[in-house]
A and B are shown apart, each in its own frame.
Chain A
Amino acid sequence: MKRVAVLEYGMGNVRSMFNALEKLAAAPTLTADADKLSGFDAIVLPGVGAFGQGMENLRARGLDAAIVDCAKAGMPILGVCLGMQMLLETSTEFGAHEGLGLVPGGVEKLAPASARLPHIGWNTVLEPHPGRWPGTPLRAYAGEEVYFIHSFAAVPANAQHVLAEAEYDGVRFCAAIGRENIVGMQFHPEKSRAGGLSLLGAFLEL
């Protein structure tokens, strides 16, 4: 059974992620203990909220450096929503902020032509090009709608790191990122019914 650290750092709903992992028969632990991270099999970085506050909370607990160390050691890391965004280098949400820098690129506000922000609700995701998903957690994706709730989205510097895209009001944006053992999902797999759980399950098999 995979021991999964679900990072609890004061940024919203970590409980739903914990519940979802339990349903998948993983062994999740809610933790903010930077010293213990290297003892897990995988790290899930959930989070909703503002980028700057999220990074501040990670730094205050020493989690930023610990996550980077684990990532460099090859441990599977999954960032969800804000957690995905913080995997990148920078964000422009409420000023300029530095992220964890595990995936080159930044985070920018969505720019829908006419529709509303935040982008809230159920939407499908797309494979950026054929052959991108095999070997990644997205291989488990079967076309179901997944739940999004965000106004900002990742803009990876390297197109190869775009794992999935979604479309909102005519604008395509990055819905998932992937770089070796590092995965990010802008949508909430833990809140996306059976289809979302399949994606989480596939991450656990990394």
Chain B
Amino acid sequence: MLARRIIPCLDVKDGRVVKGINFVGLRDAGDPVECAARYSEGGADEICFLDITASHDERRTLFELVERTARAIAVPLTVGGGVRERRDVHDLLHAGADKVSTNSGAVANPSFVAEASRAYGSQAIVVAIDAKRVSAPGEPTRFSVFTHGGRRDTGLDAIEWAKRVVDLGAGEILLTSMDRDGTRDGYDIELTRAVVDAVSVPVIASGGVGNEAHIRDGFLLAGADAALAASIFHDGQHTVAEVKHYLLAAGVRVRPPEESDGPGPEGAAS
């Protein structure tokens, strides 16, 4: 039976892991390669690596850092930031990424999603959606898609956009609530549930995790397939293993944390 996934996220700026609140006010949270290795050893199911300045500065992700990160971990790696053409996908996969995530690039050129998934398979193409509640109180809830690290409102409806990119070939949706990002108030359950119900691919919930119960709610209330979190891991508030023990006790099927993730596999040594 398939397990739900826990994905620590490394937002990387100028080669360092950073974390902000509502996409601004960034502060340093460590070395990306060290962080990724620690999470991989600690039971993370995947690692997500987002170069958050890439779109803004119109520069491409630091391939060398991706290479070192991929080498340091024993679980899959998703990389995003500045991915806007087929060459970017190729270069990142070649550097060691297993999946690439595109956000601004997909909005600027939706056919890129189709082209990339056709060439590299849907499973390699994640579309990241940064969504923000734009409806006034009393109005029907509406979420708009933002790009360029949350600086630009595209006017696209987040639910409709999610459906569209899946039709184009996206294999997974990485859904971040901008309202919740960095707040530790929990995932936006309404937003996440709406996207989960609208699409036929796995949805990664993101934005707002402050404790273990928030992750449980992302799975059990919102129906997410994977839970992405940053602050609670970076700050040492919880280890991945602690979160998994909590989830197992709460009835969520996750890959159990291993007793020991030592260096040598037994089968290889014999």
Contact = CB atoms under 8 A, between A and B. Distances in A.
A72 interface: no
Interface in A95-122: 115-122
B88 to A, nearest CB: 13
A194 B261 contact: yes
B75 A13 contact: no
Contacts of B121: 12, 48-50, 82, 151
Interface stretch (B93-101, B140-148, B156-164, B179-187): B93-101
A201 B265 contact: yes
Most chain A beta-carbon neighbours within 10 Å: one of B255, B264, B267: B267
B261 A193 contact: yes
B90 interface: yes
Interface stretch (A36-44, A61-69, A127-135, A142-150): A142-150
Interface residues of A, number: 52
Contacts of A25: 268
B172 A53 contact: no
Contacts of B67: 15
B83 to A, nearest CB: 14
B4 interface: yes
B168 to A, nearest CB: 14
B71 interface: yes
B98 A16 contact: yes
B1 interface: yes
Interface in B34-92: 40, 45, 67, 70-71, 74-77, 90
A142 B201 CA distance: 30
Contacts of A50: 118-121
Interface string A191-206: 1111111111110000
Contact of B171 (A24, A118, A167, A188): A118
A115 B223 CA distance: 11
Interface in B206-232: 225-226
A160 interface: no
A138 B25 CA distance: 50
Contacts of A118: 122-123, 171-172, 201-202
Dominant secondary structure of chain A at its interface with chain B? mixed
A149 B98 contact: yes
Interface string A133-164: 00000001010010111110000000000000
A45 interface: no
B135 interface: no
A196 B267 CA distance: 10
B202 A120 contact: yes
Interface string B232-270: 000000000000000000000001001001101111111
B120 A121 contact: no
28 contacts: A12-B94, A12-B121, A13-B96, A14-B94, A15-B70, A15-B71, A16-B70, A23-B268, A48-B93, A48-B124, A116-B225, A120-B202, A121-B45, A121-B226, A122-B5, A122-B255, A124-B1, A148-B2, A151-B121, A151-B123, A188-B76, A193-B40, A194-B261, A194-B262, A194-B264, A197-B74, A198-B265, A198-B266
Interface of A: 10-16, 19-20, 23-25, 48-50, 53, 82, 94, 115-124, 140, 142, 145, 147-151, 167-169, 188, 191-202
Given A19-B70, A118-B171, A120-B172, 14 more contacts: A12-B94, A12-B124, A13-B94, A16-B77, A49-B120, A115-B2, A116-B225, A119-B2, A122-B5, A123-B2, A151-B121, A191-B74, A194-B264, A198-B265
